[in-house]
């Protein structure tokens, strides 16, 4: 991710926003299985660089929505290429079956946490 100029957490934020558009901060934090303070720390550099926007809502200032910009989508595509390379390297060294099992367990754990 460093070659793309973002952190793994920021990559996950961009990827989540590409899949689930127009999320509130609370919804994004829940989807990311992180508290809002940690999410805000990850979002600040993305907002400064114009990779995401948090446009003001005329109806309510309390429900801040976060959206991926075109620039953010371009950065996500760039980072995804690096991610795919890293994943392929991991699978080669760890083994395809073990990597699949690990991913399955991680998804199970985060799914459990997001339901709480």
pLDDT, one tens digit per residue, over 18-67 is 999 888 999 999 888 899 899 999 999 999 999 999 887 666 555 688 99
Cα separation of 14 and 12, whole Å? 5
The distance from CA 55 to its chain's CA centroid, rounded to whole angstroms, is 19
**What CATH number is associated with residue 111?**
1.10.10.10
Q: In what order do the strands lie in the sheet with 65-68?
A: 23-24, 65-68, 52-53
pTM, full prediction: 0.80
pLDDT of residue 58: 67
| Residue 107, both tokens | 């998804």
Decide if pLDDT at 69 tops 60.
yes
Domain range for 11 is 2-115
pLDDT of residue 75: 97
The number of folded domains in the chain is 1
């Amino acid at each position: 991710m460093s070659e793309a100029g973002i952190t793994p957490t920021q990559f996950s934020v961009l990827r989540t926003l590409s899949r689930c558009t127009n999320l509130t901060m609370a919804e994004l934090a829940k989807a990311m299985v992180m508290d809002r303070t940690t999410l805000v720390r990850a979002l600040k550099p993305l907002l400064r660089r114009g990779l995401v926007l948090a446009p003001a809502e005329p109806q309510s200032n309390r429900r801040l929505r976060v959206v991926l910009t075109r620039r953010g989508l371009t950065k996500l595509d760039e980072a995804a290429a690096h991610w795919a390379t890293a994943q392929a390297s991991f699978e080669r060294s760890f083994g395809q079956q073990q990597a699949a099992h690990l991913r399955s367990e991680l998804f199970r754990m985060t799914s459990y946490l997001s339901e709480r």
